[in-house]
A = this chain, B = another copy of it.
Amino acid sequence: MQTSNFTYVIKQVEMALRPHFLAVCKQANLTPAQYTALSVLERRPGLTSSELARRSLVRAQTMAATIEPLLAEGLVRREQDPAHGRRMLLHLTPLGVERLAEIAPRIRAVEDLIVAELDAESRENFARYLRSARHSLDSAGPRPSGRPRPTD
């Protein structure tokens, strides 16, 4: 690969990662969007559904279908925003926290696999380069309207 082939190799990495991530989600009986939603809520409790959609990399319109089974299963709860009575905020329940903790070692194994060949300094650099690429790409057009803007 030349250093001018990032588009292609980023897609390859994403595709190589996908079956590993899907296997973890499947074993946990969650869709990838559901796992992502739970993990986002763990880091950022009290998001609205549309905020959670944006951070879970799904469209706001599809978030309901993602979150309903999590509410039904008792992994996530909705509560009124004390500051805005009509706003509903989402939180993990203790059961949701527990479920994530059960999955954590398998997610950690995927994370470790991605950087298996890299030393600690390279891992930090790799994380920094990825954030930089995300920032550059997100800062520039084109951006189809309605596409969730990933941030974290």
Q: Would you call A101 an interface residue if the criterion is a C-beta within 8 Å of the partner chain's C-beta atoms?
A: no
Instruction: Say what secondary structure dominates the interface of chain A.
Output: helix
Q: Which residues from chain A sit less than 8 Å from chain B, CB to CB?
A: 1-17, 19-21, 23, 36, 39, 57, 107-108, 110-111, 113-118, 122-127, 129-138, 140, 142-144, 147-148, 150, 152
Are B134 and A20 in contact, CB atoms less than 8 angstroms apart? no
Please provide the 7 A-B residue pairs with the shortest distance between their CB atoms, ordered closest to farther. A16-B137, A12-B150, A14-B14, A126-B129, A116-B136, A117-B132, A3-B127
Are A10 and B17 in contact, CB atoms less than 8 angstroms apart? yes
Are A14 and B10 in contact, CB atoms less than 8 angstroms apart? yes
Are A36 and B57 in contact, CB atoms less than 8 angstroms apart? no
Q: Please judge, given known A-B contacts A7-B17, A19-B142, whether A129 and B131 are in contact too, CB under 8 Å.
A: no
Identify which of B125, B127, B150 contacts A16 (C-beta below 8 A): B150
| Bound-complex Cα distance A148 to B18 (A) | 12
| Bound-complex Cα distance A127 to B6 (A) | 7
Are B133 and A129 in contact, CB atoms less than 8 angstroms apart? no
Chain B residues, Cβ within 8 Å of A11 = 14, 17, 57, 150
Are B19 and A147 in contact, CB atoms less than 8 angstroms apart? yes
